[in-house]
Amino acid sequence: MKLPLRHQVLEQLSDGRFHSGSLLGEKLGISRAAIWKHVCSLKALDFEIYSVPGKGYRLCEPVELLSQTRIEKYLTRYTRENFRLDILDETPSTNTWLMSQIKHTTAPHVCLAEYQPQGRGRHGRQWVTPYAGGLACSLLWRFACPVGQLSGLSLAAGLGVVRTLEALGVPQVKLKWPNDILCNEHKLGGILLEIAGDAAGPCYCVMGIGLNVNLKRAHAQMTEVTQPWTDLARLMPDVSISRNQLAALLIENLLDLIPHFEREGFPAFRQDWHRYDILSGRCVSVQGHNTETTGIARGVNAAGNLLLDTGTAQIAMTAGEITVRF
């Protein structure tokens, strides 16, 4: 896919060194004025760029852009040859983009985007992905089974994310039912599953995963997020996590986990899921449409439903918004 000039300018500047406007123009086959225009559009995306007369432009902090070649280097040969990868510069939402491809593509198909201005979260919320500051990843899979057999899939996907983060040395990763990824009780990522097709099967599932890598550039937007959040840059200030390695490991883990889920369903993942369950033993309230159920969280059942001990009964919750009570 041909990348827009804004992206190409950023790529040239990504090393954090000075680059003269005229040399950049020569390299990209555009005028110095056009370079300046793209630098302005990058500044509008909250990139800090110094411009010094006689020296050129310099990105205040180096940035690692997504690259098909770099991602492929981290993948096993088997994985590389068995899925399609599209890296977009910008799309409103990688989930929406991949859903629109269902009829024209063969699964598995992964879409990553540098920038996702209308990223979608659960319960109709917005998911903030600043340019090159997060990982916005959607994966399309075709399931031959009926939709009903996919219960617990989003929980299993959470384990794929945990395995990825642990492999990169991220400490204390936890899961909050149904599919929040947390570190130090702060949200680091989330999962949004969307399913299309025949209820009796086959059906298509788009698994959207958002991870906060460095949200510095989204500071203003993040002030509106009510849930406590974190990012990898804060959690691991001394390590620079490669977004390409992160993407590759995530793809590898998901492409390994989904066929396992297809064969055995959520029961095969349930025990492992409990190891990371942050709610277990805590008093929680689950908000439904017009209901609120409070009880002690007791893990999940074989369908991935949250088990709540209300004192008088054990209830399996299928959906809802969780509040932890102290």
120 binds ligand BTN (CB under 6 A): yes
Q: Which stretch binds ligand BTN (CB under 6 A): 88-96, 100-108, 141-149, 165-173?
A: 88-96
Site string for ligand BTN, 301-320 (x = CB under 6 A): --------------------
Q: Is 78 exposed, middle or buried (0-12, 13-18, 19+ CB in 10 A)?
A: exposed
Minimum CB separation from ligand BTN for residue 93, in Å? 3
Establish if 143 lies at the interface with ligand BTN (CB under 6 A): no
187, 217, 243, 270: which is the annotated catalytic residue?
187
Q: Which residue is nearest to ligand BTN (CB)?
A: 190
Position 127 contacts ligand BTN (CB under 6 A): yes
**Is 125 a residue that touches ligand BTN (CB under 6 A)?**
yes
Q: Counting contacts by CB under 6 A, is residue 190 touching ligand BTN? A: yes
Mask: binding to ligand BTN, 209-238, rule CB under 6 A, as x and -?
xx----------------------------
Helix axes 5-13, 21-28, angle to 10 degrees: 130
| DSSP-assigned letters across all residues of 161-186 | HHHHHHHTT--SEEEETTTEEEETTE
Considering the candidates 58, 70, 122, 234, report the single residue annotated as catalytic. Answer: 122
Q: Which is nearer to ligand BTN, 119 or 295 (CB)?
A: 119
Q: Whole-angstrom Cα distance, residue 140 to residue 101?
A: 9
How many whole angstroms separate alpha carbon 15 and alpha carbon 59? 8
Q: Which is nearer to ligand BTN, 117 or 299 (CB)?
A: 117
Q: Is 95 in the site for ligand BTN (CB under 6 A)?
A: yes
Q: Are 111 and 86 in contact (CB under 8 A)?
A: yes
Asked about 325 being catalytic, the answer comes back as yes
Please give the full DSSP string across 213-246, using - where no structure is assigned: S-GGGGHHHHTT--S-B--HHHH-TTS---HHHH
Query: How many Cα atoms within 13 Å fall on the side-chain side of residue 82?
Result: 12
CB 195 within 8 A of CB 204: yes
Rg over CA atoms, the chain: 21
Q: Is 43 helix (H, G, I), strand (E, B) or coil?
A: helix
Q: Of 24-32, 66-74, 75-83, 91-99, which part binds ligand BTN (CB under 6 A)? A: 91-99
Nearer to ligand BTN by Cβ, of 32 and 125: the residue is 125
Report yes or no: 94 and 208 within 8 Å, Cβ to Cβ: yes
Q: What is the 3-state secondary structure (H, E, C) of 111-155?
A: EEEEECCCCECHHHCECCCCCCCEEEEEEEEEECCCHHHHCCHHH
Q: Is 153 in the site for ligand BTN (CB under 6 A)?
A: no
Select the span of 46-54, 74-82, 186-194, 237-245 touching ligand BTN (CB under 6 A): 186-194
Quick one: 112 or 257, whose CB is closer to ligand BTN?
A: 112
Residue 93 sits in the site that holds ligand BTN (CB under 6 A): yes
Q: Which residue ranges make up the site for ligand BTN (CB under 6 A)? A: 93-95, 116, 119-122, 125, 127, 136-138, 180, 190-192, 208-210
Q: Provide the annotated active-site residues.
A: 122, 187, 325
